[in-house]
A and B are shown apart, each in its own frame.
Chain A
């Protein structure tokens, strides 16, 4: 399972002794690059756990500053960081957690001009807070043939899907077409521990994706209602008439 140089007190020791990860899986994680878009509720656990897991190059895009009302759920940041950029706050915390990770921070809002950033990574993780950004990121990921792990929360509930037309799955717009009428405005209330549940699951799915452990979420939509303890894993399908991935002919 591991060689004579194995250090049981080493940083990744508990990964190295896990059969589904082991030295090969850990080396894969150490060589992987991930772009996390949004360093808020979901981005906090995603970034913390992926940095801790030793993802080789961890990109982070967010143009926001840390505000007091963030701290009820955005546990990456802290009171001493109020008013500072989330990228600077994240850099301090993540480089302390794991200095071996190459951090790449972008204090930008994702836009048609900046979306091409996704092309330089092995996996993009969408932790943004609005549908327009989600569609923009999906289009950029389909265009660059980069797999997209997209997670979202609302109040007590969450959804996670892995979208990768280049790997044979649907894209985000196959399931949630851009032409749909906008959903009704909802309360921004959210229980503070919810992004912990959903974001930690996203980080875990990213680790499964890279190491090939078990079954990843390709073409599946995981949904959880933590208020009423309902959890489902739904099968998604590619749409032959999807204007986003069909237009790319990305095996879709």
Chain B
């Protein structure tokens, strides 16, 4: 079971701040592909993953990173307002 947390407009597009998912995804990129196939809301949120950052158990990682042993994945964009 994987906890997934979404921040800012990613959260807004998906429509929820967090969810738990049973997944066999090996990497972050695999997880993103799985989510995008789920629903158009996810497709909209992950349309361009290059604008997003990902943290695995609160440690910033690349989308190629392995999900082995990971409990929480957080997706977030840079915020820019002041």
Interface residues of A, Cβ cutoff 8 Å to B: 38, 40-43, 126-131, 134, 151-155, 157-159, 175-176, 180-184, 186, 188, 190, 195, 221, 223, 225, 227-228, 230, 232-237
Contact = CB atoms under 8 A, between A and B. Distances in A.
Given A230-B18, A232-B5, A232-B74, A181 B80 contact: no
The size bracket of the interface on B is 20 to 34
A175 B60 contact: yes
Contacts, number: 94
A221 B82 contact: no
B48 interface: yes
A220 to B, nearest CB: 9
Interface string B28-49: 0000000000000000000010
B64 interface: no
B24 interface: no
Contacts of B59: 234-235
A154 B79 contact: yes
Interface of B: 5, 7-9, 11-12, 17-18, 48, 50-51, 53, 55, 58-60, 74, 76-82
A234 B74 contact: yes
Contact of B53 (A41, A155, A176, A227): A176
Contact of B78 (A43, A128, A183, A234): A183
A230 B51 CA distance: 21
